[in-house]
Amino acid sequence: MLSITFDSNLHEPAATWRALYQAALEQGLQPRDQACVMMHTRGQRVAEYQLVVSEPGVTGRQR
C-alpha cells in the first residue's frame, strides 16, 4: 500500500492520484486495481489517498 496525505489547498485530486501511481512504478511496484481515500478526523480533518500495489512476479502478496 502506498499512501499520501492530500491537501486540497495545494493539490488537485487527479494529479495526486497520478503522482501516487507514478511513485509506485518508480519503486518497481505494480499498481493494482484498488485504491481508497481514508478520512482521518482526530484533531483536524485529513484525507489520505491510498493505492494498493504488489511486487512484480509475486502473486497473492500485496504491499
What is the identity of the amino acid at 2?
L
**Cell 504491499 found at:** 63
Q: Residue 60 has what pLDDT?
A: 60
C-alpha angle 19/40/63, rounded to 5°? 50
Segment 11-59, tens digit of pLDDT = 999 999 999 999 999 999 999 999 999 999 888 889 999 999 999 877 6
Q: Tell whether pTM > 0.85.
A: no
The separation between CA 56 and the C-alpha centre of its own chain, rounded to angstroms, equals: 17
